[in-house]
Amino acid sequence: MAENPNTKRVWLIDAVAWSAAYPATNPLREVHRWFARWVEDLPGLDLAGVKADADVLAAVRSGADGVIISGSPRDAWNEDPVNLKLCEVVGECRDRGIPLLGVCYGHQLLARALGGVVGRHPEGLELGNTPVRLTPAGRVSPLLAGFPERFEVLSSHVDAVLEMPPGGELLVEGDFTRNQGFHWGNQLFGVQFHPESDPGIMQFIWNPRRETWRAKVAFNLDQAIDGLRPTPQAGSLLRNFVTQIVWH
């Protein structure tokens, strides 16, 4: 645990795998920074980082008051060793009562680990600014405290949670992807969208992919990427995870 007994340690598991198309010197590759900027002013928070291909179980067992699993280009549904290891992390958190937040890939991985079904989205890629809405459960969830009934998020995914895990409850829904957020026992949470992101980060990620993806989608890919708008409301979800869930 952190040296100060009043400090809460949240482990951010960075599951992003970068290709050579993304210069290592570019600060936009700093996944920890994507998340930290929303919560770094909170006193008593130690947001510690660990890569998904490291010994994440040992990190969590060394002391964790909360865990966040980031997005990733990995597919949460296959038998990748990293997926299997992170499923163990979910089980560890569930059994030890540690709050967990999964983002995009992390959301899908969470659903899989709890017995849900994850796979390719039947309608393909969802990318850009996406309108979503709270369910009745979402309106009273501490993760979404202060959120309006309808708000906008940034999306970037070709996989989705196709069937809710047993005991899961829908918190946020959309038209293209119904399961935009769920909880299990008010302890484990997943969101399909990217509360940590912004247009600059998402454009950095998508610029090298444009040529490959243009012919694969039925919408104007360049318009979706170039027209990205900030979604600061979504970013407050990360603060809620710390202040309303980890600290309670």
- Please give the average per-residue pLDDT across 214-218, as a whole number: 95
pLDDT in tens, 70-84: 999 999 999 999 999
The pLDDT of residue 248 is 87
CA distance 204 to 210: 11
pLDDT above 70: percentage of residues in the chain = 98
* Domain residue limits at 93: 8-246
- Tell me if 2 is assigned to some domain: no
- Tell me if 1 is assigned to some domain: no
Q: What is the CATH number of the domain that holds 46?
A: 3.40.50.880
Which residues are catalytically annotated?
Answer: 104, 194, 196
Task: Give the pLDDT band (50/70/90) at residue 2.
Answer: very low
Task: Give the pLDDT band (50/70/90) at residue 6.
Answer: confident
CA distance 130 to 127: 8
Q: Is the per-residue pLDDT at 160 higher than 90? A: yes
- Tell me if 234 is assigned to some domain: yes
Count: domains in the chain: 1
- Tell me if 3 is assigned to some domain: no
The pLDDT of residue 32 is 98
The pLDDT of residue 152 is 97
**How far lies 228's CA from each of 72, 92, 194, 203, in Å?**
20, 37, 13, 8
Amino acid (1-letter code) at residue 247: W
DSSP 3-state of 181: strand
- Tell me if 129 is assigned to some domain: yes
Task: Give the pLDDT band (50/70/90) at residue 1.
Answer: very low
pLDDT in tens, 122-148: 999 999 999 999 999 999 999 999 999
Instruction: State the residue for tokens 């119904």.
Output: 178
The pLDDT of residue 155 is 98
